[in-house]
Amino acid sequence: MSDGIRVLLVDDQPLIRLGFRLVVDAEPDLAVVGEAADGAEAIAQTAALEPDVIVMDVRMPNVDGIAATAAIVQARPATRVLVLTTFDLDEYAFGAIQAGASGFLLKDVQRAELTAAIRAVHRGDAVLSPRATRRLLDHVDLGTVAPGGARNGERDDPYLRLTDREREVYRAIARGLTNAEIAAELFVAESTVKTHVGRVLAKIDARDRVHAVILAHRFGHVPPPS
């Protein structure tokens, strides 16, 4: 499984970890490389095991998922974090996304949705529904995610830094489209989209696709999600 996606499961409930392990290990391209029962253990396991994707609970004793996510993203930016939450309106989940998670899942997620989400964040896509995006924008202060501590009114509109094609890709990212979906919509190769996405994120100083979504909606570049 050296070529597969390495997954770390973090939850204080052993039965939930067991259920997710059975689902993940059943996939030929995915493998659970470790488990953790709280945030402190997750941080240590990430340093030791170097997983590609972490499925992270937020409400845990000792160190919670928000603090763990922030520490992990800072120490190992290449590792993607998927947040687990009981309710899609859970403000703890939004806190974890502010900390650097690439999206969130409900704990009652279906098997196919879980494995698809793991693959999506590993590709660099965000796992964030339109409903979740609206709620996220209601809770996230742009100043807390903008590079250099810049506040909303103090930074230039990132749209102005992009070429016409990059603007199309930027708006598509903000609508939650994956690289494959953007490629189909723009009639270009997926590898070309991946290159454009990288340039867009660099030019707008976005940490990741979730951050790009926040910027796009805050600056009014896409209609608000219904």
Joined tokens for residue 200? 């867009």
Q: How far is CA 175 from CA 26, 105, 138, 182, 217, in A?
A: 31, 18, 17, 10, 9
- Mean pLDDT throughout 51-56? 96
Which residue blocks in the chain are alpha helix, DSSP H?
A: 14-25, 39-49, 65-75, 91-99, 111-123, 130-139, 142-145, 164-174, 179-186, 190-203, 209-218
150 pLDDT band, cuts 50/70/90, is very low
What pLDDT score does 149 carry?
Answer: 37
Q: Say which residue the tokens 């945030």 belong to.
A: 39
- Mean pLDDT throughout 169-188? 89
Instruction: Give the pLDDT confidence of 99-143 residue by residue, as tens digits.
Output: 888 888 888 888 998 999 999 889 888 787 556 666 666 665 544
- Which domains does the chain possess? 5-126 (3.40.50.2300), 141-218 (1.10.10.10)
**Percent of the chain beyond pLDDT 70?**
82
What pLDDT score does 224 carry?
Answer: 56
**Percent of the chain beyond pLDDT 90?**
46
pLDDT for 90 beyond 70: no
What pLDDT score does 47 carry?
Answer: 96
What pLDDT score does 225 carry?
Answer: 52
Check residues 23 and 93 and name the one with the higher pLDDT. 23
pLDDT for 167 beyond 80: yes
What pLDDT score does 152 carry?
Answer: 43
- Mean pLDDT throughout 1-29? 91
Q: Are 42 and 85 in contact (CB under 8 A)?
A: no
145 pLDDT band, cuts 50/70/90, is very low
DSSP class of 127: B
pLDDT for 34 beyond 90: yes
147 pLDDT band, cuts 50/70/90, is very low
Joined tokens for residue 102? 């690439």
61 pLDDT band, cuts 50/70/90, is confident
Q: How far apart are CA 60 and CA 82, in angstroms?
A: 15
What pLDDT score does 209 carry?
Answer: 83
Q: How far apart are CA 39 and CA 59, in angstroms?
A: 9
